Structure 1
């Protein structure tokens, strides 16, 4: 073997230069390398896919299992500030050295098989979680489901949180096509949970065809609640007088219900008490999901980047109390339904600060401004659109203009939120 990198950053730089096609569909290459590595799990594996709500559902599962005293591994993506955020063991990011060692193992095992950055790092993280002697593993699926690298792992439980139109380039432009892709993580005779209240027929048909044990929201599990507390009902298990999850926002009870349904399906292998569920939901922490930062003006970080998520963000604004003006720091990938996002939220934004993002497939600030003008966003004494070269600059401008009764909403893509997180971090140091 030639000299392999000795630091995580050098490894990531190397992986980023390889394999020109960013997403090369098909799982044969990944499956072959997985077999060579001999990745397998002794413990239950929960695989979570869906358009929105994946991260929240994973975070709730992790938090509840940790409260119950289990050793838990989580793979989630993308990351905001450090690659290490993608793999967590017992709630802590995995250290650089562990990645360096496991990357070398994948590199040796793959021999002549080419892997994308995403495939390579997915195999590495699946391997390090298999090495860690865990009680439970939670794997978040990226793009789609059926052809995602995570799908070479068989989950004991698979959850599809929501089916909405997101990556039109890859997955098709209808909920039926996307539903079929998402349902690709279901397995014969294994628990398959769908928390989308209106699942596409394609997902139902696929689950039936492969003989998965399908749990549907409203049929096999549901919730009800008042302002103070809520209750979960599964097939055989009830969880009453639960506190609201610490994650704020409109869809969190759907996500929490899916998590509790998954834990019900695994209750023989991973028993969990009522108090541990309560504590777990109270302790969940997930950056960038309707995250309201302390201080004034209010700053909200939200990775909403499709119309469904933007509608939820808009609804969440209404529950925040009065703010004189709302500034938006907004940047987006070009393959998103940007017009749909703007349509859902434009009524709540007074001043738009649109930004370029450091990726070739990002929309430019100029393109975003054009779309805002086409959507009828005004430029007058009370409304404005300004363009910036980076989220950091857009955020600095919004901060300089916003009064303490105003709010700044940062949304549109992981990179938009990550840029502002970096800016805030350097302010505070």
Structure 2
């Protein structure tokens, strides 16, 4: 069928079949972007990289800027339920008609160049942003940094939230290699905000090579939780005390604040204080039910599991904790389970609806506990769990974006 007649769902199905090859450079992608006039957009660009916390950092940046009166575009990934979640303009999702128009343009301009799914949709996002007079565009890195499609843009300020061990087959098996890949978003003479205290030496090396100005946590800017209800942030000549606790991780809230102040953009401090506690992001320690309490979290690597463990410690637990757990086969399943093993009373492990999922047999080897049960899909796991949980219990749904997405889609 000719693509002009494609529906939105047909386009998504078409794009998801694109080659998953890894590029050695972004030359061809830049050619298409240049042809479309996407490399010279007048907006101020933030590029947000790191292993964990990119999405929450982007969400905080977006809301603070919108509430300060800026026109903002946000490109983030992955989505939980619908592709449209990946792109927002001034805080709103775009229509399917807008996306279809953009897909048609990109498809017509790419010629014979073969693109991956992420490369295609990154061009689409940039094209959609180009249709608006945006003051600021926030780009979340998809994977790594150096060869990520978002890196065709020369950002005005880059961010690295942290460096953890993940995607080792593509980025390297140690933090030194991964740090080198993620630092690929640095630009000469521009500021890069670093949110991790013990950053790999490779990040400093790339910064020196590119003449990037690093602004590091606990060196150039600081934050500290004062008590259960407040925290403080110190940055150059700005000291903010008694800030309200945010619903997203405080380290990522602090990274967002630091990045805003280093950007030179004008932010009203009263608006900042009023905004911080209101920002939420789906699937990040998100409570969707209270009796029993059901918590969704996309934790899918050891760093994220450690944060999840800390959040569990903050809960007033009156019953048992049941985990609905599905994960991709290329993740450090052993490491994640070791972090959370003592926190969880019962494991309901399952296979996800993707060929990337860890199989039931694989999970049985990784979770050989008497309190672990295994299911072929999330529907069966939930049906079994509903028969045993009480109103005092906690259901923790985690392990992957796929896990959270599938749970949000089932009838409960």
Paired position in structure 2 for 1:231? 232
Once residues 226 and 257 of structure 2 are traced to their aligned partners in structure 1, the CA distance between those partners, rounded to angstroms, is 19
2:384 to 391, 397, 405: 397
Using structure 1 for the length normalisation, give the TM-score. 0.92
Paired position in structure 2 for 1:271? 266
Once residues 174 and 18 of structure 1 are traced to their aligned partners in structure 2, the CA distance between those partners, rounded to angstroms, is 29
Shift in Å, 1:361: 1.8
Once residues 397 and 37 of structure 1 are traced to their aligned partners in structure 2, the CA distance between those partners, rounded to angstroms, is 52
Distance 1:105 1:282, change over 3 A: same
Q: In the TM superposition, what whole-angstrom CA distance separates every residue of 1:216-249 from its partner, at most 9, and x where no partner exists?
A: 00111111231232221112333332111122xx
Once residues 356 and 286 of structure 2 are traced to their aligned partners in structure 1, the CA distance between those partners, rounded to angstroms, is 26
- 1:418 and 2:389 equivalent? no
8 Å CA contact 1:207–1:214 kept in 2: the answer is yes
Name which of structure 1's ranges 359-368 and 337-346 shifts more when overlaid on structure 2: 359-368
Distance 1:103 1:369, change over 3 A: same
Secondary structure at the counterpart of residue 233 of structure 2? strand
Once residues 225 and 10 of structure 2 are traced to their aligned partners in structure 1, the CA distance between those partners, rounded to angstroms, is 50
Paired position in structure 1 for 2:132? 132
Once residues 150 and 96 of structure 2 are traced to their aligned partners in structure 1, the CA distance between those partners, rounded to angstroms, is 22
1:255 to 241, 245, 252: 252
Secondary structure at the counterpart of residue 231 of structure 1? strand
Secondary structure at the counterpart of residue 324 of structure 2? strand
Shift in Å, 1:25: 4.6
Name which of structure 1's ranges 169-178 and 226-235 shifts more when overlaid on structure 2: 226-235
Name which of structure 1's ranges 36-45 and 95-104 shifts more when overlaid on structure 2: 36-45
Paired position in structure 1 for 2:353? 358
8 Å CA contact 2:189–2:212 kept in 1: the answer is yes
Secondary structure at the counterpart of residue 348 of structure 1? coil
Paired position in structure 1 for 2:107? 107
Q: Specify every segment of 5 or more residues in structure 1 that has no aligned partner in the other structure, as ranges.
A: none
- 1:318 and 2:305 equivalent? no
Using structure 2 for the length normalisation, give the TM-score. 0.96
Shift in Å, 1:405: 1.0
Name which of structure 1's ranges 8-17 and 49-58 shifts more when overlaid on structure 2: 8-17
8 Å CA contact 1:64–1:279 kept in 2: the answer is no
Paired position in structure 1 for 2:32? 33
Q: Specify every segment of 5 or more residues in structure 2 that has no aligned partner in the other structure, as ranges.
A: none
Once residues 23 and 377 of structure 2 are traced to their aligned partners in structure 1, the CA distance between those partners, rounded to angstroms, is 29
Secondary structure at the counterpart of residue 263 of structure 1? helix
Shift in Å, 1:2: 4.7
Once residues 71 and 196 of structure 2 are traced to their aligned partners in structure 1, the CA distance between those partners, rounded to angstroms, is 29
8 Å CA contact 1:66–1:90 kept in 2: the answer is yes
Secondary structure at the counterpart of residue 261 of structure 2? helix
Once residues 104 and 134 of structure 1 are traced to their aligned partners in structure 2, the CA distance between those partners, rounded to angstroms, is 22
Secondary structure at the counterpart of residue 295 of structure 2? strand
Once residues 409 and 3 of structure 1 are traced to their aligned partners in structure 2, the CA distance between those partners, rounded to angstroms, is 42
- 1:388 and 2:385 equivalent? no
Paired position in structure 2 for 1:243? 244
8 Å CA contact 2:23–2:147 kept in 1: the answer is no
8 Å CA contact 1:310–1:345 kept in 2: the answer is yes
Once residues 287 and 302 of structure 1 are traced to their aligned partners in structure 2, the CA distance between those partners, rounded to angstroms, is 8
Once residues 23 and 401 of structure 1 are traced to their aligned partners in structure 2, the CA distance between those partners, rounded to angstroms, is 46
Distance 1:176 1:141, change over 3 A: same
Secondary structure at the counterpart of residue 144 of structure 1? coil
Shift in Å, 1:369: 1.8
Once residues 54 and 392 of structure 1 are traced to their aligned partners in structure 2, the CA distance between those partners, rounded to angstroms, is 30
Secondary structure at the counterpart of residue 401 of structure 1? coil
Secondary structure at the counterpart of residue 283 of structure 1? coil
Q: In the TM superposition, what whole-angstrom CA distance separates every residue of 1:352-376 from its partner, at most 9, and x where no partner exists?
A: 1111112212111221121111xxx
Secondary structure at the counterpart of residue 410 of structure 1? strand
Where does 1:15-54 land on structure 2 (aligned, <5 Å)?
Answer: 15-19=15-19, 21-39=20-38, 40-54=40-54
Once residues 359 and 24 of structure 2 are traced to their aligned partners in structure 1, the CA distance between those partners, rounded to angstroms, is 27
Paired position in structure 1 for 2:184? 184
Paired position in structure 2 for 1:167? 167
Q: In the TM superposition, what whole-angstrom CA distance separates every residue of 1:149-199 from its partner, at most 9, and x where no partner exists?
A: 001111111000010001111111101000001111111111101101111
What is the aligned residue count?
410
8 Å CA contact 1:331–1:365 kept in 2: the answer is no
Paired position in structure 2 for 1:281? 276
Q: In the TM superposition, what whole-angstrom CA distance separates every residue of 1:79-128 from its partner, at most 9, and x where no partner exists?
A: 01110000011221121111000111101110110101111011100111
Where has structure 1 moved over 6 Å in runs of 4 or more? none
